[in-house]
C-alpha cells in the first residue's frame, strides 16, 4: 500500500520523500555532485529504516563535513584512514552496515594502503569513493586520479604522465581482490545516472548488512571550483573527459571471501 498524505482535504499518494538529512546548509560548491551522494545515501537509509543500524565514516577532504548532513551515527577520520576506522567499527559491530565517504586524494593517495587492505580482507563495508580527479578542499591540486594533460594548481602545464604517472583506476584494482563482492562505477550527472547510483547504494548496504564482503562504489564526480569551471561547463567536461577515462558500469557483482 502506497503511503498517503492529506492536504487541503485531499488525499495524495507519496511518490517521493525528502531525505531525512540534518537541517544544515551544505557547504558543497554550486554544481558539485557531492551532496547528491549524501542525499541518495540518506534516502536509502530512510527507506530501509536502518538509521539505528548504520555507522558512517567521513575523512579529511570535502567529505569530512558529511556528519553535518547525514542523519546517522558518524565518525570523522584522519586523512586516508577511513577504511581503517570502518574496519574497527565493523569488527566490533558486525550487525551494522558501515560506510565511508572518501575523495580521491584521501582514498587513492594517502589512504591507498588502508583501502586496498580493507578490500583484500573483505571487510563488509561500503566504500563510497567520490572521484573528481582533483584535491577539492585544498584548492584544486593534482590527485593520483587527475587526467593526463589536466591543468590543476599543482600541474599548471597539465598532468605529465612522465612526471606523475597515469591516473590510478582504483576500481579496476580492487575488483581483482577476492574480498570485494561488488565493484561499480557510477555517476550523478543526470537523473538517470543518479537513479542508478541509488540502486548501487541499496545493493551495497544490503551487502554490508549481510556481511558479504566489501562493496566499492566509485562515483565519478565533478569539481567545478577545483576545475575552475562554471557548474554548466563542469558538466560538459565531466561527460567529455571523466566518463571517457572512467567508464561507468559494474566491474564485479559477486565475490567476497567464502
Partner 1 sequence: MAEKYLMKGNEALAEAAIRAGIDGYFGYPITPQSEVLEYFSKWLPRKGIAYVQAESEVSAINMVYGAGACGKRVMTSTSSPGFSLMQEGVSYIACAQIPCVLVNVQRGGPGLGTIQPSQGDYFQAVKGGGHGDYRLIVLTPNSVQEQADMVYKAFDLSEKYLNPVLILSDGALGQMMETVEFKEDYVRPEFDDSWATTGKMTNRGMNTITSLYIKPEDMEKKNFELQAKYKIIEENEVDYELCHMDDAEIGYIAYGLSSRIVKKAVDIAREQGIKVGLIRPKTVWPFPKDVIKKYSEQVKAYLSIEMSVGQMIEDVKLAIDCKIPVEHYGKTGGIVLSTEEIIEKTKDMLNKY
Name the residues that contact partner 1, by CB under 8 A.
22, 51-55, 57, 64, 67, 70-78, 81, 84-89, 91-93, 96, 113-114, 117, 121
Closest distance of CB 71 from partner 1, Å: 6
Q: What is the rounded (10 degree) CA torsion for 164, 245, 33, 84?
A: -60
Closest distance of CB 98 from partner 1, Å: 8
Closest distance of CB 185 from partner 1, Å: 25
Closest distance of CB 151 from partner 1, Å: 29
Closest distance of CB 127 from partner 1, Å: 14
Question: Cβ closer to partner 1: 76 or 239?
Answer: 76
Contacts of 244 (CB under 8 A, 6+ apart): none
Please count the other Cβ atoms lying within 10 Å of the Cβ belonging to residue 62.
Answer: 27
Residues 24 and 18 sit within 8 Å (Cβ to Cβ): no
Question: Cβ closer to partner 1: 57 or 242?
Answer: 57
If you search the block for the grid coordinates 566491474, which residue do you land on?
A: 251
Helix (H) or strand (E) holding 90, with range, is helix 82-92
Question: Cβ closer to partner 1: 67 or 227?
Answer: 67
Residues 215 and 227 sit within 8 Å (Cβ to Cβ): no
Please count the other Cβ atoms lying within 10 Å of the Cβ belonging to residue 17.
Answer: 11
Please count the other Cβ atoms lying within 10 Å of the Cβ belonging to residue 197.
Answer: 23
Question: Cβ closer to partner 1: 95 or 157?
Answer: 95
Question: Cβ closer to partner 1: 63 or 194?
Answer: 63
Which SS3 state, helix, strand or coil, does residue 194 take?
helix
Amino acid at each position: 500500500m502506497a503511503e498517503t498524505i492529506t492536504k487541503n482535504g485531499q488525499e495524495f499518494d507519496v511518490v517521493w520523500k525528502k531525505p531525512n538529512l540534518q537541517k544544515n546548509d551544505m557547504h558543497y560548491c554550486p554544481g558539485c555532485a557531492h551532496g547528491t551522494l549524501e542525499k541518495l545515501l540518506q534516502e536509502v537509509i530512510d527507506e530501509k529504516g536502518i538509521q539505528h543500524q548504520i555507522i558512517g565514516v567521513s575523512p579529511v577532504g570535502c567529505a569530512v563535513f558529511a556528519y553535518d548532513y547525514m542523519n546517522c551515527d558518524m565518525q570523522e577520520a584522519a586523512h586516508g584512514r577511513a577504511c581503517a576506522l570502518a574496519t574497527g567499527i565493523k569488527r566490533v559491530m558486525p550487525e551494522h552496515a558501515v560506510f565511508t565517504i572518501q575523495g580521491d586524494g584521501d582514498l587513492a593517495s594517502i589512504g591507498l594502503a588502508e583501502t586496498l587492505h580493507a578490500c583484500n580482507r573483505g571487510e563488509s563495508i561500503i566504500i563510497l569513493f567520490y572521484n573528481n580527479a582533483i584535491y577539492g578542499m585544498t584548492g584544486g591540486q593534482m590527485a593520483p586520479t587527475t587526467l593526463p594533460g589536466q591543468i590543476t594548481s599543482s600541474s599548471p602545464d597539465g598532468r605529465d604522465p612522465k612526471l606523475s604517472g597515469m591516473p590510478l583506476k582504483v576500481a579496476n584494482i580492487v575488483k581483482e581482490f577476492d574480498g570485494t563482492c561488488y565493484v561499480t562505477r557510477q555517476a550523478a550527472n543526470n537523473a538517470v545516472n543518479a537513479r542508478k547510483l541509488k540502486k548501487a547504494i541499496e545493493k551495497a548496504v544490503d551487502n554490508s548488512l549481510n556481511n558479504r564482503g566489501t562493496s566499492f562504489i566509485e562515483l565519478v564526480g565533478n569539481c567545478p571550483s577545483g576545475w575552475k569551471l562554471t557548474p554548466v561547463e563542469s558538466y560538459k567536461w565531466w561527460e567529455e573527459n571523466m566518463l571517457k577515462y572512467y567508464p561507468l558500469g559494474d566491474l564485479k557483482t559477486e565475490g567476497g571471501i567464502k
